[in-house]
Every structure is written in structure tokens, then in C-alpha cells.
Chain A
Amino acid sequence: MDRFLSRRTFFAGALGLVCALGLSIAQAADEPADVFIKRVSSDILDAIKADKSIRTGDVNKITLLVDQRVMPHVDFLRMTASAVGPGWRQATPEQQKRLQEEFKVLLVRTYSGALGQVSDQTISVKPLRAAEDDKQVLVRTEVRGKGDPIQLDYRVEKATDGSWKVYNMNVMGVWLVENYKTQFAQEINAKGVDGLILSLVDRNKANARAAK
């Protein structure tokens, strides 16, 4: 009986989720890129502000937040592939999968430290300079808090389902993908794709050890 009940609640919950998802997709359908960025980043900022354990660097919590609220809006395949560069096409599907996984862990770990500084910041989106039917758009924002405003820009593309996906971002003018490109190419040239995967794994292990 208990089991049945919990199953029913589960289904009801799942139904609700599907509805909410449908709604958010419908809402996203013809949303301009700047509105999309504003909505998603405020949503994430609110989630961080609401949860103290995220700000103190609880990696599990942060990973959960990233998986639920960030990754659905990111074309991480494209991000990883561009960072890896020409070497991407030499990689087997299995290697490509591993590269994405390890790259994600690396980014989550690195930026989780920065989340501790989130307090009263707000995001202001600058006026969009793009035509209405542009498929790839640069959205420029500023994080305003205590000190000087911090420049935070995103490159977004329109996916086939009409939603926007982030495929690159920059902090104070430093583009994420470009900044990994040279290092990744260096590793691949010296030690091949597996060598790059290994370096990423090592880096992640070292970071995890340092966090303890």
C-alpha cells in the first residue's frame, strides 16, 4: 500500500514536472536571447543565494545545481569540442564522452570556489545588438556587487527546438573556450587524446584532494 502510494505521488510529481517543462519550453520558444540570459542567470543566482551549503563550497550540492539549472541551457558538446579543437575529430565517441565528463568536473570544481563570494550581486543585461532572426548571438552582461562591475558575456545559439543554448562565455574579456584551446592542443600534440584525458583526470583528482 505504502509502495503504491509513493508510486502514485511519484507519477503525480512526474506529471507536474512534464507540464512545467512543457510550459518552460513554450515560454522559451520565441524568447529573445537577452531575456533568456537574464532569466536563467537570475534563477541560478537566486538558487545560490537561497542555499548556504552551495556558498560554502559543498561540491555535491553545486554539481546538482549545475546539472539541474545550468546544463540544460548549455551546449556542452560544442563547448568541449571547440576547446579540444582539431583533435576532436581524431577522438573516438568513447573518448569524446570522457572528455566532456572530465571537462565538466574541472569547470564545476574551479567555479565552485567563486560561488562563495555570491552575496548581493545582481545581473544587468546590456542592450542586444542582433537581428531578430540571428541564430548566434552575443549577450553582454555585468555582474554588479560591491566592487567594480564584472563583465560577463555569453555566446548563445538557437537550437533546433527553438531554445537558446550557451556555447561560450567570458569573464572580464577572457573567453572560456579560447583559454583552454592552447593547453588542450599542447597535451594532444604531446601525448594524444588519451594523454589529454589523463591530464584532466589528474587535475580533477588533485583539486578534489585539495578541497578536503
Chain B
Amino acid sequence: MPMACLHRRWRVGVLALAMLTAGCASGPNANPKDPLEPMNRSISRFNDALDENVLKPVATSYQDVTPELVQKGVRNVFNNLSDIWSTVNNGLQLKGRDTAESLMRSVVNTVFGIYGIFDVATAIGLERHPEDFGQTLGVWGVPNGPYVVLPLFGPSTLRDTASMPVDTSADIVRNLDQVPTRNTAMTLRVVDKRASLLNATHLLSDAAIDKYSFTRDAYLQYRRNQIYDGNPPDEDDLVDPSAEPTAPSAK
């Protein structure tokens, strides 16, 4: 019942996004990858404010207070759960070896790592191959679509947003029967995720002149890299503006 509810909510969300896409006036300077920029910017501001006031402080104190060993165990458990879903997606992408390795990882870690608390699989040389349904769609040629910043969830694309219900319905944590356990687990997962990103976001706000476009460009590059498993084809040759005026006919 709550599952169906969630689905409906997503469908409405995607529909609303599609309408916004159609209705959004893209100015002359609009980035073709980001026609929804004005809306995305305001959602980013909302997310940033929420993060600054709630999530970041909570994640910071979680990191400060919880012993490192416990944090590692928590992260391993969630990674183990996601490895199961990665197995399915690696399979859907017809990656034989990665599918087998992901499956082996889940089995080894669940059995020998005590429900995934210890990451035994990495120690014996089985590496993670994280894949979600958005990547699966990407591998099969579904384009990104416009860049979208989702309230609470942050950077995404239209394709990844549309594929989220699939990831959600397969999510073991969300499908836990006991409501208090489920809520605790979901909260813990968010806090753990945010804590793991503390250093990265700190770097982000230092490095950027415009944090919004820096985050967007980084996210789109990162996602593309994931879909090509770390080896994307060149988008365009890097021209070197510093060299052109000096040697026009050198070669």
C-alpha cells in the first residue's frame, strides 16, 4: 500500500517536471544541458539551506561521536545491501563478470561478514561494481535528458529521476516490514551517506566560483563516467587556446 502511494507520487512528480520543462522559457544564454536552470537554482538554494541547518550538522556530529569502526560497519551493511541491487543491474547490462563478482560479494559479505558488517569480499579481491537502474538505462542508450535538481535528493537528470521508482521498489531498506526499523534504517543511511560526503562538499564550496554550475557540471561528468564504467569516449578534443596564436602552421 505505501509502495503504490510512493509510485503515484513519483509519477505525479515526473509529470510536473515534464510540464515545467515545456513551460520553462530558456533564454538566449541557456545551457542546452540545463534548460530548467532557474527552477533548479531555487531548489538548490532550498536544499543548501536545509543541508546547512539540518543534515550537515547531524552528519558532522555523527562522524565526530560514532567510533570509526562502527561507522565503517554501518557503511558496509548499506553497501552490501546495494551490492544485491547492483548484481541485478549488472545482469541487465549483460556484464557477466561484474554480475558474478557482485553476487559473490553479497554472498560472501552476508555470510562471512555477518550481514555485511565486515567487508570480507574486498579483502579477498572482489571489487564493488555499483550500478543503479538509471545507469542501466544509460547503458542501453537512454539519454540523460535535462539536468534536474530534486528537492531533498539533489542533483539528478530526467532519466535518473524517472528510473528512481524502480530503484526504490527494489530497495531492501524501504521494503522492511517493521515501520520503526525501516525509518531508523532510512535515516541512518542518509546520515551515513552525508557523512561520507562531508569532505567532498567542503572542497566543493571552496573550489567553485558559482557553486550551482560547478556542482551541475561535476555531477553530469561523474554520471557519464559511471555509465561508461570509468572510460567514457572523448566529448570533444580539448583545444589549447594558449598555443594557437604562436604556431599556426608548425606541423
Residues of A in contact with B (beta carbons under 8 Å apart): 77-78, 80-82, 84-86, 88-89, 106-107, 109-111, 113-114, 117, 140, 148-149, 151, 155, 167-168, 170, 172-175, 177-184, 186-187, 189, 199-200, 203, 207, 210
- B242–A174 contact, CB under 8 A? no
- B222–A172 contact, CB under 8 A? yes
Q: Is residue B127 contacting chain A, with contact meaning CB distance below 8 A?
A: yes
Q: How far is the CB of A145 from chain B (nearest CB, A)?
A: 12
- A183–B232 contact, CB under 8 A? no
Q: Is residue B239 contacting chain A, with contact meaning CB distance below 8 A?
A: yes
- In the complex where A78-B243, A173-B224, A182-B217 touch, is A199 in contact with B209 (Cβ < 8 A)? yes
Q: Report chain B residues within 8 Å CB of A149.
A: 127
Among residues of B, the one whose C-beta sits closest to the C-beta of A109 is B206
Report B195-233 residues with CB < 8 Å from chain A CB.
199, 202-203, 206-210, 213-214, 217-218, 221-222, 224-226, 230-232
Among residues of A, the one whose C-beta sits closest to the C-beta of B130 is A148
- B209–A174 contact, CB under 8 A? no
- B240–A82 contact, CB under 8 A? yes
State in angstroms the CA–CA spacing of A177 and B217 once bound together: 11
Q: How far is the CB of A87 from chain B (nearest CB, A)?
A: 9
- B202–A113 contact, CB under 8 A? yes
- A81–B209 contact, CB under 8 A? no
Interface of A: prevailing SS: helix
Residues of B in contact with A (beta carbons under 8 Å apart): 29, 31, 127-128, 199, 202-203, 206-210, 213-214, 217-218, 221-222, 224-226, 230-232, 238-245
- In the complex where A78-B243, A82-B238, A113-B199 touch, is A173 in contact with B209 (Cβ < 8 A)? no
- A84–B241 contact, CB under 8 A? yes
Q: How far is the CB of B210 from chain A (nearest CB, A)?
A: 5
State in angstroms the CA–CA spacing of A149 and B199 once bound together: 16
- B221–A173 contact, CB under 8 A? yes
- A148–B209 contact, CB under 8 A? no
Q: How far is the CB of B215 from chain A (nearest CB, A)?
A: 10
- Across the interface, B213 reaches (CB within 8 A) one of A88, A140, A182, namely A182
Q: How far is the CB of A202 from chain B (nearest CB, A)?
A: 9
- B217–A187 contact, CB under 8 A? no
- B208–A183 contact, CB under 8 A? yes
Among residues of A, the one whose C-beta sits closest to the C-beta of B128 is A148
Q: A110-B206, A113-B199, A182-B31 are in contact. List 16 more A-B contacts (CB 8 A).
A: A78-B240, A78-B243, A82-B239, A84-B241, A89-B241, A89-B245, A110-B207, A113-B202, A140-B230, A140-B231, A151-B230, A173-B221, A174-B217, A174-B225, A178-B217, A179-B221
Q: Report chain B residues within 8 Å CB of A181.
A: 217
Q: How far is the CB of A199 from chain B (nearest CB, A)?
A: 5
State in angstroms the CA–CA spacing of A77 and B243 once bound together: 9
- Across the interface, A86 reaches (CB within 8 A) one of B31, B213, B241, B242, namely B241
Q: Report chain A residues within 8 Å CB of B226.
A: 173
